[in-house]
């Protein structure tokens, strides 16, 4: 379990993950409303090579009468360390293989594009590193005509009420989809209005990447535990882990299509979130992954996300101080009488 080192970082990570979920849903809406750019295939659906290797992109689409495909990979957060960032970008190589199950006929395509989507604040360092990687023979695919990088940002519209809009812009490369490129060539890129954003935020919840603790805890509190049926005179209810997992299934885009190992990964996310909630005294694990839920649940003066981030940060500080204290005590125990005498003399 990893607690945030700063409250602001916790809030920032929560917001960026939530916004990335919006991007995925906005992509779906883009294909739904613009038939000319192609056809939506699926979210997190597996693609296989002839050798049996499997990849699960965030979003898959087809265009040119299903003869060509597009793979979208969405990153809500990327490492600041250039070495770790380089490893993330090298992972994209797995998407440049030939796949044989595009849900079309004959289930193959003549070629496909790969689009990396990330926050605009990460764009410059990504492009700088890609330009370095392109000098290596094994990463020539990053300079090809079928690789593109898009950046997303949330901006205030010119409307007097200052409403929020989502903007998608192309910063690197291009795809072979001319209709899609025409949309990106607009001065403002692709815009999604606040009304649409509001609808999306209440209908889509997760992407493939693991969410930060505050995000999944907030989903469990708002959408699973708070609406859970209870009698008016009860001051608590009990619910087991499997019931919570089952109720969370509807919040994952393609739960029914997931294989057993992927479902286990999502289950682990939920289990870890409940462990955090137990540590924060939001719920109580009374044994065998059965949880006692107080009624009312987690009432704070601060907005939910701010309150969660404050509590997560405080618990992390408490743990970090405890580790330092334990480390000092252990050091004293390891010292013999002569060591302690010499240390006092030095002081």
pLDDT band at 253 (very low <50, low <70, confident <90, very high): low
Q: What is the pLDDT of residues 257-273, one digit of tens each?
A: 677 888 888 899 999 99
Q: Are 197 and 308 members of one domain?
A: no
- C-alpha 11: how far from chain center: 14
Of all residues in the chain, the percent with pLDDT exceeding 90 is 43
Q: Which two tokens stand for residue 224?
A: 């699973």
Per-residue pLDDT, 329: 57
Q: What is the mean pLDDT of residues 191-198?
A: 76
Q: Are 112 and 156 members of one domain?
A: yes
Of 171, 201, 231, the domain-final residue: 201
Q: What is the pLDDT of residues 96-124, one digit of tens each?
A: 999 988 887 778 899 999 999 999 999 99
Q: Are 312 and 280 members of one domain?
A: no
- Number of domains comprising the chain: 3
CA distance 188 to 30: 15
Q: Please tell me the pTM assigned to this model.
A: 0.75
Which range of residues forms the domain containing residue 188? 7-201
- Asked if residue 235 belongs to a domain, the reply is yes
Q: Are 81 and 135 members of one domain?
A: yes
Q: Are 128 and 171 members of one domain?
A: yes
Q: What is the pLDDT of residues 230-247, one digit of tens each?
A: 777 788 899 999 999 988
- Asked if residue 166 belongs to a domain, the reply is yes
Q: Are 55 and 161 members of one domain?
A: yes
Q: Are 115 and 152 members of one domain?
A: yes
The beta strands (E) that lie in the chain are given as: 39-43, 47-48, 54-55, 59-63, 68-75, 111-119, 147-156, 164-173, 190-192, 236-240, 284-285, 290-294
Q: Are 13 and 158 members of one domain?
A: yes
- Asked if residue 2 belongs to a domain, the reply is no
- Asked if residue 208 belongs to a domain, the reply is no
pLDDT band at 42 (very low <50, low <70, confident <90, very high): confident
């Amino acid at each position: 379990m990893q607690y945030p080192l700063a409250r602001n970082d916790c809030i920032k990570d929560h917001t960026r993950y939530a916004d990335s979920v919006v991007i995925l849903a906005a992509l779906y809406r883009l294909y739904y409303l613009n038939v000319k750019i192609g056809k939506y295939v699926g979210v997190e659906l597996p693609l296989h090579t002839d050798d049996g290797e499997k990849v699960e992109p965030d979003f898959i689409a087809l265009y040119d009468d299903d003869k060509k495909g597009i793979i979208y990979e969405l990153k809500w957060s990327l490492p600041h360390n250039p070495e770790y960032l380089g490893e993330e970008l090298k992972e994209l190589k797995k998407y440049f293989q030939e796949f044989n199950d595009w849900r079309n006929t004959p289930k193959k395509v003549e070629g496909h594009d790969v689009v990396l989507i990330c926050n605009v604040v990460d764009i410059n360092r990504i492009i700088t590193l890609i330009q370095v990687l392109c000098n290596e023979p094994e990463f020539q695919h990053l300079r090809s005509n079928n690789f593109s990088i898009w950046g997303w940002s949330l901006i205030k519209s010119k409307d007097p009420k200052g409403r929020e809009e989502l903007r998608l812009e192309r910063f690197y490369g291009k795809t072979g989809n001319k209709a899609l490129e025409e949309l990106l060539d607009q001065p403002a890129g692709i815009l999604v209005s606040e009304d649409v954003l509001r609808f999306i935020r209440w209908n889509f919840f997760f992407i493939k990447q693991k969410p930060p603790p505050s995000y999944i805890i907030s989903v469990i509190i708002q959408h699973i535990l708070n609406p859970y049926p209870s009698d008016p005179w009860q001051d608590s209810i009990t619910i087991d882990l499997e019931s919570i997992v089952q109720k969370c299934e509807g919040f994952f885009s393609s739960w029914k299509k997931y294989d057993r190992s992927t479902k286990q990964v999502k289950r682990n996310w939920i289990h870890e979130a409940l462990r955090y909630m137990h540590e924060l005294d939001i719920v109580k694990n009374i044994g065998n992954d059965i949880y006692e839920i107080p009624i009312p649940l987690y009432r704070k003066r601060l907005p939910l996300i701010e309150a969660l981030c404050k509590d997560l940060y405080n618990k992390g500080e408490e743990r970090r101080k405890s580790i330092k204290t334990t480390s000092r005590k252990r050091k004293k125990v390891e010292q013999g009488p002569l060591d302690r005498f010499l240390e006092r003399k030095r002081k």
